[in-house]
Structure 1
Amino acid sequence: MAEPGPFRSDASVVQLAGRLLCWSLAAAMASAAADASLHPHLSWWGAVWPLPWWSASLAALAWTVLRAREKAHRMPPQDSARSDWEQAA
């Protein structure tokens, strides 16, 4: 039997994309706060501090696509009426 891993199902990939999005947003806010409050005068800082914002944008796009794909492939519950499932979607 294969051992369960983080990449075994679509749900886990969606969760990982969501975690990446959260961490990217945290890094982006931290870098923006550092830029606003500390005003670093490092030559490379101007190129580095926007990178977490780009990462957050890409992670948000990936999460959106993966979540839509997950919802599209989900089957409706067998014990409820189809109209209830369509109304919830």
Structure 2
Amino acid sequence: MSTMGRHTPRSRSIRHHVPALRLTRFVQQTGRLLCWSLTAGMTTAALELLITPEAAWWHMMWPLPWYLTCVSAPLWAALRAHEKAARQQAREEDNDIPGEWEQAA
């Protein structure tokens, strides 16, 4: 039998996992941005080394993926740490709720 005014474990855990799922999506998108910017940076560096394009805009454009990598790496690390902390906090809050067997005892 449940106590009046007390949330059930199911409704409480759903409420805390929705922001974690949204945060996970941001972490995944930032991770993809990091990977693609690294790929583009390595590709443009190889082109610069092997082919040395003569276009006037090339010398300004080929380092741009490296700048994007420098921005996305710390952003991904901060978001990932925040995601892990949110998941750990959600697990700890879920453990605070006594189960059916603990209430019976």
* Distance in 1 (alpha carbons) for counterparts of 2:57 and 2:28: 33
* Corresponding residue number in structure 2 for 1:51: 64
TM-score by length of 1: 0.73
Corresponding position of 2:77: 64
Partner of 1:13: 26
Q: Which gives a bigger RCO, structure 1 or 2 (Cα 8 Å, sep 6+)?
A: 2
- The alignment partner of 1:9 has SS state of helix
Residues matched between the structures, number: 71
Percent of aligned pairs with the same amino acid: 44
Moved over 3 A (4+): none
CA RMSD across the alignment: 1.4
How many angstroms apart in 1 are the aligned matches of 2:44 and 2:34?
15
Q: Which has the higher helix share?
A: 2
Residue identity in the other structure for 2:75: A
Shift of 1:26: 0.4
Partner of 1:39: 52
The counterpart of 1:26, out of the listed 14, 36, 39, is 39
1:12-66 Cα offsets, whole Å, 9 max, x none, are 1101100110001000011001000001112111100000000111111110110
Structure 2: gaps of 5 or more residues: 1-20, 96-105
Q: What is the Cα deviation at residue 10 of structure 1?
A: 0.5
Larger radius of gyration: 2
Match of 1:39, SS?
Answer: coil
Partner of residue 73, structure 1: 86
Query: TM-score with structure 2 length normalisation?
Result: 0.62
Following superposition, the deviation at residue 70 of structure 1 comes to: 0.8
- List runs of 5+ in structure 1 lacking aligned partners: 1-7, 79-89
